Chain A
Amino acid sequence: MNDMRLAERTVDTDAKAIKFQCRDVQVWYGDKHAIKDVDVDILDKTVTAFIGPSGCGKSTFLRCLNRMNDTIPIARVEGRMLLDGEDIYDRRVDPVQLRASVGMVFQKPNPFPKSIYDNVAYGPRIHGLARNKAELDEVVEKALRGAALWDEVKDRLSETGTGLSGGQQQRLCIARAVATSPEVLLMDEPCSALDPIATAQVEELIDELRSQFSVVIVTHSMQQAARVSQKTAFFHLGNLVEYGATDDIFTRPQDPRTESYISGRIG
């Protein structure tokens, strides 16, 4: 773990407010107990990384945070997940409204087969965030600037989003998620389909996004977790093994399983 950026970043995470408070979270896929007794607090304006070997449940847990698992008929979630103190699995909560506040970016860039503008404007349109065309233009520009894509695409907003390069597509998807001004941004291995240069751009972007949102990122790359996150959670076989400041996890792991994983003996 001799990444030099680790040392530069000594953020006092304890001062941040708690965004998500999760207690006793259990997830079943049919008969399979995919997530067991997970307690975790996710802080505001912080990048939290979920790491662990594949199949450990980190993506499953991420998808619980904006109830994307609702779309899988056999998935069942138990326990409490409080967003600003409100249980997001409460019967009165509409997942549609929740997802407007907890946005998501996926593993593979998935721009809609529409123009770049329409891609970004999609969220604001369905949630009614802009009253007129001028406001919408403003929201789109802000989101694209936020995703560090504005300068590259400002002259071809009406071209289709699927024509962009992989890295640009993923940043477009981030812009699309940012455009609904969420409070939390969930990212499911956002760089796994990208080349190293595009990955670096996206990682840089994630670091910038931290100033406005709480970002939760699932990654299979420990180096990436170390580079971008302030807090890290290590999942193993559906259990949350260890959760703490990223520096601590990578330099002084408490649990032998964490140590085995980060030193490359398992996973």
Chain B
Amino acid sequence: MTDAASQLPRPVGAVPPARKSLLEPDARTRRRNAAETRFRAYGIAAIAVAVAALAWLLFAILSDGASAFRQTYATIPVTLDAAVVDPKGNRDPAEMSKVLTLSYGKLLMDGMKSYVASKNIQIDGLDDADLKSFLSEQAQANLRQQVLDNPELVGQVVTVPALTSSRIDGYFKGRVTAESAAADIKTSPAQLALADAMKADGALVTRFNSDFITNPDASETRAEAAGLGVAILGSLYMMLIVLVLSLPIGVAASIYLEEFAPRNRLTDLIEVNIANLAAVPSIVYGILGLAAFINFMGLPRSAPIVGGLVLTLMTLPTIIIATRAALKAVPPSIRDAALGVGASKMQTVFHHVLPLAMPGILTGTIIGLAHALGETAPLLLIGMVAFVKEYPSAPPEGLFDPASALPVQIYNWTRRADPAFFERASGAIIVLLVFLLAMNLLAIFLRRKFERRW
């Protein structure tokens, strides 16, 4: 450069700095930097704790629940004695259906006995009670259903996979041990020894259990047969109602508030209302559903229609808030452009603003639905916690049939005594989380795909 500065001597020594050299941090700076490092460490620790809590939670659920998708079955030959299952001998399913399930239990019992005898299995202390409780009570019902569906089987020797009891199943999943069996009236070490022998023989298999997804709930004593079929269907029905009601209503309300509403008392009131409704505890919505829909309007308890309505009211504020944000994000220039070519306000909104805001609205709706899907408390109050074994029929009538819901089914199972239900509750959570994950991925996909920068 042209300046004289370059000719000047280096200032070192010429002007001794009044302070200490910058190259040596003083004690105070060192202290302050240590405080800085500590503060930063707190931040990292906080994040680590949060992430670790998530990992712990997911690990606990996954490790408890993964085994719910596998189930132990015994494959033993069973003689379908015609004298027992078809006393009249005419192979008429209507006649045969009068034979009680208990009789099939005897057939299975005989099958077990002859199996033990034929394989020459010798176990100390193995008594009839052990053989009887080896198989699930559900196995009798399943066998009966199979015979009724196909009367040709009568008189034959069939080898069908029969559900084992939850204790035998638990033995192969590590939940039941020889020590715990000794103290358990529902099983015994001898029964477990039999299970080992049968396993060695190949007569016991633990395999993937699709019934867990499709079966309805089962009673207290049949944990091994309980499934999520009714709960999934009930949740699906409710989500359908929530989607059909909350999306149009939510969008309509948002459009009015964001695009048309004059700034006045009423608008303010509505806005304050929506903000507060979003923060009202979910159980209060349950009370509303009980008092308004069931007691006042006389809708049936346990029905998806009531659950759907309650969840709709609960989800609406979320959807309205998300939709308004999406509408706000559409730049005013678009509105000006449409109004400028002579479109009416209504046309501007419906032809231009709404389509542009649609990805944001859909994302918000999906997130709202995901929240509704996982909500439990309000559903407990409207009777969804009842034991429902029948599948609801197809909509619209099915919406009024009793049904369960996924999160309520989980709650229901945690209330039961048999520890096998805890495994199933965790398994049901995995199913629930898979649904939630799918919905969130869809939301992320929509957002990525239609993301727009103005």
Interface residues of A (CB under 8 A from B): 14, 17-19, 21, 39-41, 44, 83-86, 88, 90, 92-94, 96-98, 101, 126-128, 183, 240, 242-244, 254
Contact = CB atoms under 8 A, between A and B. Distances in A.
A94 B25 contact: yes
Given A84-B15, A94-B29, A254 B23 contact: no
A85 B2 contact: no
Contacts of B8: 18, 41
Nearest to A241: B1
Interface of B: 1-6, 8, 10-15, 17-19, 21-26, 28-29, 32-33
Contacts of B10: 21, 85
B9 to A, nearest CB: 9
A84 B25 CA distance: 16
B24 A92 contact: yes
B36 to A, nearest CB: 8
22 contacts: A17-B11, A17-B14, A18-B11, A40-B1, A41-B6, A85-B10, A85-B11, A85-B12, A94-B25, A94-B29, A96-B29, A97-B22, A101-B19, A101-B22, A126-B32, A127-B28, A183-B17, A183-B18, A183-B19, A240-B1, A242-B2, A244-B3
Nearest to B33: A94
Contacts of A39: 1, 6
A44 B2 contact: no
B11 A97 contact: no
Given A17-B11, A94-B33, A97-B29, 17 more contacts: A39-B6, A40-B1, A41-B6, A41-B8, A84-B12, A84-B17, A85-B11, A86-B22, A86-B23, A88-B22, A90-B22, A92-B24, A93-B22, A94-B22, A94-B29, A96-B32, A243-B2
Contacts of B4: 14
Closest 9 CB pairs of A and B: A41-B5, A85-B12, A17-B15, A84-B17, A18-B11, A92-B23, A93-B22, A94-B25, A86-B22
Secondary structure at the B interface, as helix, strand, loop or mixed, is loop
Given A94-B29, A94-B33, A127-B28, A254 B2 contact: yes
Contacts of A96: 29, 32-33
Nearest to B18: A183
A182 B11 CA distance: 18
B15 A44 contact: yes
B5 A83 contact: no
Contacts of B6: 39, 41
Given A17-B11, A84-B15, A98 B22 contact: yes
A18 B22 contact: no
Contacts of A97: 22, 25-26, 29
A219 to B, nearest CB: 20
A90 B22 CA distance: 9
Contacts of B23: 86, 90, 92-93
B39 to A, nearest CB: 13
Contacts of A18: 5, 8, 11, 15
Contacts of A254: 2
Contact of B3 (A41, A84, A90, A101): A41
A90 B23 CA distance: 8
Contacts of B3: 41, 243-244
Contacts of A14: 4
A41 B3 CA distance: 9
Nearest to B30: A94
B11 A128 contact: no
A127 to B, nearest CB: 7
A98 B1 CA distance: 27
Nearest to A39: B1
Nearest to B19: A101
A41 B11 CA distance: 11
Contacts of A88: 22
Nearest to B23: A92
Given A18-B8, A127-B28, A86 B15 contact: no
Contacts of B32: 96, 126
